[in-house]
Structure 1
């Protein structure tokens, strides 16, 4: 599936951080909606060796059509933190 739709729930959002993830206290996938609203989802490390962080959509998160921005935020056990680069993804309305 190459398209992402408003209200879609059969979707895992994943991002590769570029570094192995060990000793993680917390990780999030942060976002900015097309209207400028920002938020975050509590994510999980889905592949520590490859540095992949993921979040499984429940169905109500992608509530606006348009360009969304996503990036990763990680906090390590020693309280250091790191941000990932943002990527833009277009979310479509069903039937369009």
Structure 2
């Protein structure tokens, strides 16, 4: 199944975070923070949103920083993704 976002929505997938701290400690699932770096999987077309024209500036494959608890988490074909508005994306990581 493929997700095609509407309007100013962007589908992102979390980038794997290291399982070990710099000191060599292995983190359990509950000790890990939600990652803020994600990869863009799909981008909506933009257009008129809430009376304003929105031009999409991110593209598929970009690595982005998002707000810690933004978006809606979904599971498609066993993979976890998050759907966010482009405005919830804080920066593109190069």
Q: Same fold (TM over 0.5)?
A: no
More helix by share: 2
Query: Normalising by structure 1, what TM-score?
Result: 0.26
Structure label with greater radius of gyration = 2
Query: Normalising by structure 2, what TM-score?
Result: 0.26
More strand by share: 1
